[in-house]
Amino acid sequence: MAFHNLYPELLLALVGNTGEAFVQREQGAIVLADVVDWVTPPEREQLNRLARLGAHYAALEEFVCSATAAGAGDDGTQPPASMYRLALASGVSELLDVYRSAVLQVEAHLLHLGAAPPLLSVQQFLLEFEALLPEVAALVGEVRRRGLGGSQAMRALSLRAGSGAPALQSCAARLLWHCRQVLFNQLESWLVHGLLLDRGNEFFIRRCDTAAPPAAAGAAAGPAAGHVASPASALHGGGGGGGGPPGGGSILDWEPLEWHAGFQVSLADLPPDVSLPTAEAVLFVGKAVRVLKQPMSSAASHQALHAHAQILAFAHDLHRLQRQEAASAAQLEHCVESLRSKVSGLLWDLVRHRCDLMAQFEAMRCYFLLARGDFYQQFLDEAQALLAGEPKPNTAEADIALAFQQSALKSTAETDALFGAVALRWLPADRGEDEGGPPVWHPSRCAAVSVPRYDAWDGLFLECAVEWPLQLLFPPEVMSKYGALWQHMFRLRRVQLALEGVWATLQALHHRKPEDDGTPRLPASLRAALCAERQQQHHFVSNMALYLAMDVVGASFGQLRAAVAGAKDFSAADAAHRRYVDSMVSQAFLDMRQLMGYLEDILRQCRKLCALVQRLAAGLVDAVAAAAALQGIRRTFRLKHRVLYQIMQSGKLSSRTPALRQLITRLNFNGFAERQARPVQEPGSAVLPSATAPAASPCGGQA
């Protein structure tokens, strides 16, 4: 009968309430009071073991109340409450309901028996909770102590769901299911409607904080500053600013930049069952849905409604997964991938039906890859005097832009409707970020690419305003690689024309009589050596330019055309375009800094030779000094050429470019490259015509 008076106190202790028999000690522990001294030590241990459930119950109930109060009191003045923690609290509350039902069963059992039963008969009703409540209380304590939320809380639950104890595994899986309800709601909001439902920054898709500054920088630089033209600017002829609401403009002004840099995957917030490829597919789908929901014409409005109706059907598949107790990662991946495929097809239809995609690719080839040869020949002729001098900081861009526009009027570019989208700009190399800095699509923004330098006009770069929605295929990182290819090919073309000008100057010096201007004629040996060196340099530079134009750009563009023609969705077309650009960068060796360093040294020797011949023509240097300077130019050129040729021959580069063997064969025409490996004549010896020239006569004709 001793336990008959103790059981009511025990029932209260089981739900966290203390009295005379059970008291609360430090850290919330509930134990049998010392005044109850008539129980045996084993019985005291059993009673304390049951009372500990009450302490865990009180801690869990306090967590549920605090989380619920935080969610209800979210008025915007405080940081938003964690939706995942609120979901966890909902799951814990469900567990506590089951526990309270078990305590009520104990009470009913005691009332039914009348006489006080042994402790073991009471304990059997609560055996399962002796394993569950301590673990759940430990989990809740970890969540509160470390401030876990979102994926961190789900990982902690996922670890416990792998427990070997069936009861604990089932309980953790149920708590994880509650948290997944929040995840599925966020997924539905993003995948179906393109909206981020994430006030607490717990979803693995995040809005980028760095998306706005490039737009501001582009607007500050003027109408030609942006490589993409927003839909609003395309309609109104503007370049990027004005007319929109404060803080970033209308949704249409924001779209192009938002697609490329508006959202990102947060690796730290990836849930345990979501892989990185699946997360990237989720990111793509949400961005595509945002694009498809923004029509710009009546036809596009009908198309957007049709697309949205198809996407809404996907919500049923997501709801079916959401209702499952334990949806697998494979099921979620399959569901997301099926939507990605569908949305990619809808986006591809939008791009194909509204734009001439191949015309845009052709324009990029004509202007960024120098395929419109008559225009660039005319431009280099127009700008020859300007490029021969130093750029004037205040007027350099306007001066070169004028020559660029005038060249179009004298070439086939005049009839090209897409030429107006291209602009030539100049940016000093020492311009800092505080002065505006290079735009996000500038070649210098691509850290993996190295373009050989040539002279003070290296700051020239090309821009293109791409029509909406083609900007989706031309992100800043791709445009920066286009810009790097243009700089590389344009500089090679400039060097090639400069060396051709040297040939004309040497011919004029050969036919000039001393009585014409009082300048003595060049010694025959010096003139022959200059002609031979010019021909060797021109042979190398012209073959490099030919390799890029024919073997790299021409062949790669044919592959791009075939890939785009066979593309079934937007992702396939985007991947084909990126492969096309990356392949050209790789075949041009722009991603090999060491090789580009040797090429830069070669271009520097070409520039020195051109400057030396100009000084000779102006009578600013005598023959002896010119011979000494020529020896230095010749020695360095042969050394760098030999190293560059050996790298190309090594076989390490054969996998990246199938046309490399053709380039090597051209460079070694008549054994030219092999003879470059012979020892260079030391300074002080007579300057004689070199026998290493690829052609038969050093000065007999232009190579």
pLDDT digits (tens, 9 = 90+) for 449-474: 999 999 999 999 999 988 878 888 99
Q: Report yes or no on 466 lying in a domain.
A: yes
Domain that holds residue 464: 358-511+523-677
Phi, psi at 474, each rounded to 5°: -125, 70
Between the two ends of the chain, the Cα-to-Cα distance in Å is 118
221's tokens: 């630089």
Q: Report yes or no on 542 lying in a domain.
A: yes
Residues 110, 197 within the same domain: no
Instruction: Tell me the H-state helices in 262-297.
Output: 276-292
Contact 227, 476 (CB under 8 A): yes
Q: Report yes or no on 225 lying in a domain.
A: no
The candidate with the shortest Cα–Cα distance to 598, out of 662, 655, 549, 643, is 643
Residues 394, 445 within the same domain: yes
pLDDT for 226 beyond 80: no
Phi, psi at 462, each rounded to 5°: -105, 145
Q: Report yes or no on 166 lying in a domain.
A: no
Q: Report yes or no on 621 lying in a domain.
A: yes
Residues 305, 432 within the same domain: no
132's tokens: 């569950």
Q: Whole-angstrom Cα distance, residue 102 to residue 582?
A: 66
Report the pLDDT value the prediction gives residue 661, as an integer from 0 to 100: 87
Residues 338, 376 within the same domain: no
Residues 431, 348 within the same domain: no
**CA neighbours closer than 13 Å in the CB half-sphere of residue 67:** 25
pLDDT digits (tens, 9 = 90+) for 321-355: 888 887 788 888 998 998 899 889 888 888 887 78
Q: DSSP secondary structure string, 528-545?
A: HHHHHHHHHHHHHHHHHH
**Boundary residue ending a domain (290, 322, 354):** 354
Residues 296, 382 within the same domain: no
Which CATH number is 460's domain given?
Answer: 1.20.120.1900
Contact 429, 458 (CB under 8 A): yes
Residues 335, 399 within the same domain: no
Which 8-state DSSP code applies to residue 19?
Answer: -
Count of domains in the chain?
A: 3
pLDDT digits (tens, 9 = 90+) for 518-535: 556 778 899 899 999 999
Furthest CA-CA distance within the chain: 139
Contact 423, 463 (CB under 8 A): yes
Which 8-state DSSP code applies to residue 651?
Answer: S
Residues 349, 365 within the same domain: no
pLDDT digits (tens, 9 = 90+) for 647-657: 888 777 777 77
Q: Whole-angstrom Cα distance, residue 388 to residue 326?
A: 71
Q: Whole-angstrom Cα distance, residue 194 to residue 288?
A: 8
Residues 594, 629 within the same domain: yes
Q: Report yes or no on 338 lying in a domain.
A: yes
Q: Which of 423-432, 640-649, 656-665 has the lowest mean pLDDT?
A: 423-432
Residues 6+ apart with CB under 8 A from 645: 664, 667, 668, 673, 676
Report the pLDDT value the prediction gives residue 110, as an integer from 0 to 100: 83
**Boundary residue ending a domain (339, 354, 369):** 354
Residues 84, 134 within the same domain: yes
- Write the secondary structure of 94-155 as one string of H (helix), E (strand) and C (coil): HHHHHHHHHHHHHHHHHHHHCCCCCHHHHHCCCHHHHHHHHHHHHHHHHHHHHCCCCHHHHH
pLDDT for 302 beyond 80: no
Q: Report yes or no on 168 lying in a domain.
A: no
**Boundary residue ending a domain (110, 133, 148):** 148
Residues 613, 499 within the same domain: yes
Higher pLDDT, 587 or 684: 587
Q: Is 597 exposed, middle or buried (0-12, 13-18, 19+ CB in 10 A)?
A: middle
Residues 481, 374 within the same domain: yes
Q: Whole-angstrom Cα distance, residue 123 to residue 111?
A: 16
Q: Report yes or no on 315 lying in a domain.
A: yes
Report the pLDDT value the prediction gives residue 347, as an integer from 0 to 100: 86
